[in-house]
A and B are shown apart, each in its own frame.
Chain A
Amino acid sequence: MPDSKKYLRPEVTGRIRRLELTARRVVEGFLSGMHRSPYFGQSIEFLQHRQYTTGDEIRHIDWKVFARQDRLVIKQYEEETNLRLHLIVDRSHSMAYGNGESNKFDYSASIAASLAYLAIRQKDACGLFTFDTQIRDNVPAKSSQSQLTRMLMALDRVGADGRTDLSRVAREIAQTIPRRGMVVIISDLLGVDSLIEGLRVLRQRGHDVALFHVLHDDEMDFNFDGATRFEGLESEEFLNCNPRALREGYLEALDQFLSDTRRACGRLMIDYMQVRTSDPLDAVLAKFLSVRQSLPKLKR
């Protein structure tokens, strides 16, 4: 049995379980749930009128409109459906940076486990992908209680290793997921060459995509002193330098990268969440969920 406390921290899940994980976009689902479905059903929430065509059931005709306007329209209702949540966790070598709770992969796994717990608790289906240059592990989305255990086992089984190829992985995942749902990518995006392309593939498939950009404090602040030999985690490159001399340029390059990423996510209507491994996980998730709840529900 996996140690559920390793990634699913009780203090985290306790504080966020009051919050509902809601999909900002319409997702498809098998179960009637709290999430609006693109499939018109029998829910009480009116969606739109449509011109009657042959074959439509007569019971869906809105007779009040016929009485006022003398034309036949069909009354359509939005159906509440189950969320299908896919968690995509980067397990490349760069995610191994950091010790203890500040380890980026551990922190990312905690985010993934917390979201999975939340989804399953509200009867939504949840699946997991881990990847580096390719998909390394795949837990298909289900809403059973044992799903959480499977996902935790999968997270515990893998360790950070290899390089990152998000573009290729995104394409594979897009083909793997049969129905639209919510895709949450948790990665440091380091060593990713074609991030935009990968995200675009997922968006084109109609997924609601959220991106947790996990970075370590060292990567954000670069507060190193003394002569240091920096050796690449995902490459053979190295650099002997006085880190303070390079800090300014490093931070500039990092800021540029972060702003480019944020701008690209905005363009693709992807929720972007920049996270430091030193940030309290509950606060991060609470913020993510509250932001998603406050955003207007968009129709695809």
Chain B
Amino acid sequence: MFLYPALTLGFLFVGVPLLVHLINMLRHRRQQWAAMDFLLASFRKQKKWIRLRQILLLLARLAVAALLIAMLCGWTGGGKLLGVLGGRTTHHVIVLDDSASMGDRSVVAGGEAESTAYERALRAIADLTRRLASEDGNHQLTVMRASRAAMAVRGGSESGDVAADLSAQTITSDAKLINRLMATEASPIRTDLVPAIDLASGLLRSTQADTQYLYIASDFRQRDWANPDRLAESLRKLSSDATQIRMIDCAANPTVNLAITDLSPSPDVWVAGVPVVITAKIKNYGDAAVKNVSLSNRVIRYPTTLLTPDPTRQFSGNIESLPAILIESLGAGEEVSKSFQVYVTEKGTHAIEVSLPEDSLAIDNVRSCTLPLTEAEKVLIIDADPDQRGFYHISSVLNPGSQVRIGAIPEYQPPTFLRGATLESLSAYRAIYLVDVPEISENAADALAQYVQRGGGLAWFLGPTIDRGSYNNVLLKADRQLLPASLGPAEELVDADSVTTPDMAFGEDSPLLEPIRSAGDAVFSLVGVSETWTLLETETTSTTQNASEPQSMTQTGSTEATTPRVREVIRRRDGKPIVTMHESGRGRVVTVLMGLDGKWTNWQGDPTFVVFVLQTNATLWSGAAPPTQRFVDDTLVRLLPSESYLPEATYLPATNEAPRLPVDYVAQPPAGADAGSESVDAITIDPVELVLEGESSIEELIKPGISEWGLTRMDGRGEVVPVASVIQVGEGDLRRSTPAEIQQAMLPIDVQFVSSSTWSEENQTAGSSTLTLVLLGLLGTVLASEQLLAYWASYHVAPTARGAR
């Protein structure tokens, strides 16, 4: 009813004219008078009119006082009461784009320098709410953030009520309505507006209103709006319902924005005491080149002596800054990779964080990953050669002795080891090398398949002594996928003595030889190959997969593929594969179609073999490596094996500044766990579920950065494990679509664009000015009436020749 309720005390002022009137009635000037007869006659004649005029005058003065106070108090009109009693209902639905790019601080002409696009959007909503509160009629407000809508839809919800921050709430002058919304920030999630608009459409259809408005407060980036077919489809449904659509443009033209698009440790053994190469990718999303950009990086070490998380600090671990890396120049749209070594001698999970200087968009200037380091682990080498030549060649690479530390402890076993091999016995090894093993039993194949599926690494060296038929029968049976394809007959390499072209060449996808690939096929000039096994129906692919693409982001993520994608690492001169790699489950399988016995090749004596074995070992290990980062909106799962940990843990969400608020969780057996299976409890934090449950703490839980688990081991000792949460790549691209482009794409829907600043100005003046003008007009009318009544009641001094007494 009133914008400033505290000032309503001023309505006591209304009593003042009444008091003045009463006081004046008591304060008469005395006048002795002779001609009382005429005076009394006049009074008797006009008594009724005089009283009527005085009452009207008094009422007019009371009305003037009341109107003045009403204007001062910011009277918002009584139309709401009328609205409740059956007046017009207007439903305002605001789809609020809170994707990460809304954190853009590019300056709008005439706008505040420190405002983000999201803050401007919130101000636009506040201004709209304030205006509607002062307008007549019943106004309902629905606000839906795009990130919540996207997660709700991902969780299978089709109800807008679940995702909406406000759902058809009647707007009052009470600012509490949007207080919670005003406290929010742009989310770190990358999403478009389709889910939000779909849910908003459902809400608009399900609510009864005389008029409906849909406002879309967004930054209208090109990546979402350049081809808005899906958006247009959603909006067309609304348009047919005669809903008016207004676009509130909250962003400014982008300035320079650099983003760290990836940060991950290179696939390697990740053993404590072995340096790990960390690679960061930086992309320039601006339209101008930048120079001399400093990339800061630091390691947060979590020693085993750190037993409990410290909420009073941003990180519980010890922070060690590394030398900054200088990017001398980065052209517009270019991406550059920068690598640096991290050397940590303590096992455990550590964290790495890199950051760029401040620019338009802050959220993509920092990125982190974890580095899970283990102690040196055993690798199994089964060699059928009684002379153990294969074992020798591999183990001399993996464990060269002296001060060189690779992290692997090679262990020789004869082929008979496989007879009694089980998953448990194989799980003791981080990688398994099978060199010229003639036959693989079903039992062994089963164990190996399970081993690989769980992330183990397996390398085959298939010499002339193997039984091709047995291999094909056993290893490809029942989707074991232990070979890239059926083995064909061995084929000699034609013109094996050629000196012009090496017998071996890089395959089109050779991640295992990446360090020497730049030298070209000539590095194999000393390698001779006379014969290899062939692959039947080989589905090798030349499709280049981004080798540095973050690996599986979820701890539970495993995709069933009926046909593994086989990558050709090394091929023969005639193009037939020699070395292939494929994945099976979480594990990786490297297949070398020749042995190490020296009959078909002398590669094992070539330096390139050393590189190959080291890279293969790193690749095979990394299959079982835990993820080094997760996307902020992915489910966070913490497994707590019951033999190692108590089923409870404390989670400290990532934050930019201490203190942090710890949240305690109790682990539950995973859904669908067999009663007889290994007892592993899990804590699952699913942002989607939190949205569906209406949990308010979700904003804290989906912040990017380094969060920490505080675990308790069964022996009572604590353990702190960091988790790196990162944002999806792409939000840093701040290029915008123009209103004209969007309007063109939206045709025939009529959408109106307005900038957030213009919108705020409109709303700050619109509602109040109308009512103020009405009140002013009313006040003027009442004042004029008061003057007329006063004149009528003869309170004005009429000009006379003789002065009035």
Nearest CB of A to B504, in Å = 121
> In the complex, are the beta carbons of B46 and A249 less than 8 A apart?
yes
User: Is A221 within 8 A of B800, CB to CB?
Assistant: yes
Say whether A223 contacts B805, CB under 8 Å.
Answer: yes
User: 17 extra interchain contacts, Cβ-Cβ under 8 A, other than A239-B36, A245-B50?
Assistant: A94-B34, A97-B33, A191-B37, A223-B805, A224-B804, A225-B797, A227-B25, A227-B27, A229-B28, A230-B31, A231-B30, A232-B34, A240-B28, A241-B39, A244-B796, A248-B42, A248-B46
10 CB contacts below 8 A, A to B, read A94-B35, A228-B28, A228-B31, A229-B29, A230-B31, A242-B50, A247-B794, A249-B42, A253-B38, A253-B41
The reply to whether A230 and B36 contact each other, CB–CB distance below 8 Å, is: yes
A237 neighbours in B (Cβ, 8 Å): 36, 40
Identity of the chain B residue whose Cβ is nearest the Cβ of A244 in the assembled complex: B794
CB of A296 closer than 8 Å to a CB of B: no
Give the Cβ gap from A108 to chain B, nearest Cβ, in Å.
13
- A227 to B805, Cβ gap below 8 A? no
What does the 1/0 interface line of A206-242 toward B look like (CB < 8 Å)?
Answer: 0000000000111101011111111111110101111
Residue from A223, A231, A234, A235 whose CB has the most chain B CB atoms within 10 Å: A223
Question: Are A191 and B795 in contact, with the CB atoms below 8 A?
Answer: no
Give the number of chain A interface residues (Cβ < 8 Å): 41
B32 CB-CB contact with A under 8 Å: yes
Contact: B43 with A224, CB < 8 Å? no
Q: Contact between A245 and B39 (Cβ–Cβ < 8 Å)?
A: no
Q: Which residue of B lies closest to A219 (CB)?
A: B35
| B53 adjacent to chain A (CB < 8 Å) | yes
Q: Quick check: A230 and B33 within 8 Å, CB to CB?
A: yes
- Report the Cα distance A293→B733, complex, angstroms: 118
B39: A residues at CB distance < 8 A: 230, 239, 241, 246, 250
Asked if B793 is at the interface (CB within 8 A of a chain A CB), the reply is: yes
**B798: which A residues are within 8 A, CB to CB?**
244
Contacts of B796 in A (CB 8 A): 244
Once A97-B32, A223-B805 are accepted as A-B contacts, the answer to whether A253 and B43 lie under 8 Å apart by CB is no
Interface check B803, CB cutoff 8 A:
yes
Chain A residues whose CB sits within 8 angstroms of the CB of B176 once the complex forms: none
Chain B residue contacts of A234, Cβ below 8 A: 34, 36
- Expressed in whole angstroms, the Cα–Cα distance for A218 and B803 within the complex equals 10
Contact residues in A for B805 (Cβ distance below 8 Å): 218, 223-225
Give the chain A neighbours of B30 by CB distance below 8 A. Answer: 228-229, 231
**Chain B residues within 8 Å of A191, by CB:** 34, 37
Indicate if the CB atoms of B43 and A190 lie closer than 8 Å.
Answer: no
Contacts of A228 in B (CB 8 A): 28-31
Interface string of B785-805 (1 = CB under 8 A from A): 000000001111110101111
A244 contacts B28, C-beta separation under 8 Å: no
Q: Which of B714-760 contact A (CB under 8 A)?
A: none
Nearest CB of A to B578, in Å: 120
**Cα separation A254 to B42 with both chains bound (whole Å):** 10
Residue of A nearest to B801 (CB): A221
Cα(A94)–Cα(B41), bound, Å: 18
Cross-chain contact A246 with B42 (CB below 8 angstroms): yes
Give the CA-CA distance A218 to B797 in the complex, in Å.
16
User: B42 near A232 (CB under 8 angstroms)?
Assistant: no
Q: Does B24 contact A (CB under 8 A)?
A: yes
Residues of A within 8 A of B803 (CB): 223
Tell me the complex Cα distance, A85–B776, Å: 73
Given A218-B805, A239-B40, A244-B795 contact (CB < 8 Å): yes
Q: What 5 pairs across the A-B complex have the smallest Cβ distances?
A: A249-B42, A244-B794, A94-B34, A229-B28, A253-B38
Contact B53 A245 (CB under 8 A): yes
The smallest beta-carbon distance between B411 and chain A, in angstroms, is 118
**In the complex, which of the residues B28, B36, B42, B793 contacts A252, with contact meaning CB atoms closer than 8 Å?**
B42
CA distance A217 to B803 in the complex (A): 11
**8 A Cβ contacts from A65-118 to B:** 93-95, 97
**Once the chains bind, are B802 and A221 in contact (CB under 8 Å)?**
yes
B31's partner among A229, A235, A247 (CB-CB below 8 A) is A229
Q: Cβ of B34: which chain A residues have Cβ within 8 Å of it?
A: 93-95, 97, 188, 190-191, 216, 219, 232-234
A257 within 8 A of B: yes
Q: Closest approach, in angstroms, between the C-beta of B473 and any C-beta of chain A? A: 123
CB distance from A101 to the nearest CB of B (A): 15
